[in-house]
Amino acid sequence: MNAVPALIAVVPVRDGILPAGGLESISEARGIALLIGSDCPAAVESARGVARRVFTVEATDQSPAILGRVAAEAIRRSLPDHSVVVPASPDGRDLAPHLALALGRPLHSGAIEIRADEVRLARQGGLAIAPVRVEGPFVATLQPGIRGVDFVADTTLEHAPLSISAPTTGHSVVSVEVRPPDASTMDLAEAPRIVGGGAGLDSDARFAMLAEVAASLDASMGVTRVITDRGWATHERQIGTTGVVVDPRLYIAFGISGAVQHTSGLGQPAHIISVNTDPHCPMMQMADLAIVADANEVLVALAHEVTPVSPS
């Protein structure tokens, strides 16, 4: 039987913060990683207990084409025979094709599992799995929230900073400003705060109100599958096994029962608030603050408190 391919995780870093799925990719590569971006030393610290051998490249230019070429050079200098796994976060999905191109390797997007001689890719929003045979080194993006993170007791970590200059491109691109993402439109997988709505909210209009309340709280809106099936929200807002896997610090659930297909896509929120008429449903059991009340009424009251123009 063939061995699982030797892997290195390539993880883009912004201001010392690892993206969604960063630690999982490092676990998949059995603790070997290249961190590339701004304030890598802080990111190295947050990978302690998961990573054991880390290369870093400090790069202020976050354009994926530049990062891809710099990361490719770093791979050539460090572990040229290793296949590469990149978290399928927004930055990772941007970086991976440029990295694959610069390394001259095939790219396998949306992997849920990497085996000895095949990569299994999620397709049709996770409803289908496509196995792809692999021969030789490749680049794969790994879906966040599926394999989990392997924490190790030994937190010793070998850190090797690499100095690689950004390649000259023949044309000059100047970064004028990097703006924080708009919470109402950002990728749900990256959202630090999510306000979720389920079948306990009684109309399409409630979800427009929910989106406004979310925006006022600098949060993103998420929903259950019942709501996307009704056409009250689009599929990229659906949290769960057949939707988006998220990992917010705060989750506020309005009228959500907490079915396993929903909660298994919820990550590990530090704080959960749930509003539900049923105090015994799973979402209320998971909550730090469980409010037994009509979610529609609580939403209206909250909207009066937080939105600039009070709803009628």
Which of these segments, 25-33, 113-121, 163-171, 218-226, binds ligand FAD (CB under 6 A)?
218-226
Q: Which residues contact 57 (CB under 8 A, 6 or more apart)?
A: 34, 35, 36, 40, 70, 71, 74, 161, 162, 163, 164
Task: Collapse the DSSP code of 232 into the 3-class scheme (helix H, G, I; strand E, B; otherwise coil) and give the result.
Answer: coil
C-beta of 127: minimal distance to ligand FAD in Å?
8
| Interaction between residue 296 and ligand FAD (CB under 6 A) | yes
Minimum Å gap between C-beta 239 and ligand FAD is 6
- Pairwise CA distance, residues 27 & 145, whole Å: 12
Q: Does 206 participate in binding ligand FAD (rule CB under 6 A)?
A: no
- With left for phi above 0 and alpha for psi between -120 and 50, is residue 288 left, alpha or beta? alpha
Q: Binding of ligand FAD at residue 294 (CB under 6 A)?
A: yes
Q: Least distance (Å) from ligand FAD to the CB of residue 147?
A: 18
Mask: binding to ligand FAD, 220-259, rule CB under 6 A, as x and -? ----xxx-----------xxxxxx-----------xxx-x
Number of residues that bind ligand FAD (CB under 6 A): 27
In sequence order, what are the residues at sequence separation of 6 or more whose Cβ sits closer than 8 angstroms to the Cβ of residue 137? 5, 81, 82, 83, 84, 103, 105
What's the min distance (Å) between Cβ of 1 and ligand FAD?
32
Q: Which element (helix H / strand E) includes 73?
A: helix 64-78
Which pair of structure tokens corresponds to residue 196? Answer: 């979720």
- 22 sits near ligand FAD (criterion: CB under 6 A): no
Alpha-carbon distance of 75 to 73, in angstroms, equals 5
Least separation in angstroms between CB 267 and ligand FAD: 13
Looking at the Cβ atoms of 186 and 199, the one nearer to ligand FAD is 199
Residue whose C-beta lies closest to ligand FAD: 240
Instruction: Report how far apart, in Å, the C-alpha atoms of 160 and of each of 68, 299, 301 are.
Output: 19, 50, 53
Binding region for ligand FAD (CB under 6 A): 198-200, 224-226, 238-243, 255-257, 259, 261-262, 265, 275-278, 281, 294-296
